[in-house]
Homo-oligomer: A and B are copies of this chain.
């Protein structure tokens, strides 16, 4: 799993936009063409395209063109780096809580060694 800062930057930034999150949400139901995806959004196609491009650049989505239509597909495990990072932070936090707990428990009266 790629946890390089660059990759995480791209992922988090790609997900930091409501249009793109809605797109991801939609794509969970299955692949679709650019125009079909664009229909619900109040936006011109060129603008919309940029969102697709950004999702593609982040690796969340794959696109392929056959004939004159481009089909966009969600990449299944694409946000596991995000999940992994989040889990790491939580683990760190909980490790700290454990340490605090140990401190409190093992120190009946006088702290400071």
Which residues from chain A sit less than 8 Å from chain B, CB to CB? 5, 8-9, 11-13, 15-18, 21, 24-25, 28-30, 74, 76, 79, 82-83, 85-86, 89, 92-93, 96
B contact residues around A25 at 8 Å (CB): 89, 92
Interface SS, A side: helix
Total identical chains:
2
Partner of A28, one of B15, B24, B28, B89: B89
Whether A86 contacts B96 in the complex (CB less than 8 A), given A16-B13, A18-B9, comes out as no
Least CB distance, A75 to chain B, in whole angstroms: 11
Q: Known pairs A8-B18, A83-B86. 16 more at Cβ < 8 A?
A: A5-B21, A8-B15, A8-B21, A11-B16, A12-B13, A12-B16, A13-B13, A13-B16, A21-B85, A24-B89, A25-B89, A25-B92, A28-B93, A29-B92, A30-B96, A79-B89
